[in-house]
Amino acid sequence: MYAALWRVLPGPVWLRILLVFVLLAAVLFALATWVFPWVDSIVNNQEVTVGSP
């Protein structure tokens, strides 16, 4: 998969590396903005404490 992504990206190596970092930042931003809050609303949030014996 990564080799296919590398072949699809245009330009010289330095530009490809820059594009990979930009794409990675965009994916992380999308996860933190939309995916993680959506999953948090679905997951059962119970306050759980571990007691000492």
Dump pLDDT digits (tens) for 7-49: 999 999 999 999 999 999 999 999 999 999 999 888 877 777 7
Domain span at residue 24?
2-34
Domain count of the fold of the chain: 1
Virtual torsion, Cα 8, 28, 18, 4, nearest 10 deg: -20
Domain contains 15:
yes
Handedness of CA 41, 42, 47, 50 (dihedral sign): negative
Domain contains 41:
no
Q: How far apart are CA 24 and CA 40, in angstroms?
A: 22
Q: What pLDDT does residue 53 have?
A: 65
Model confidence pTM above 0.75: no
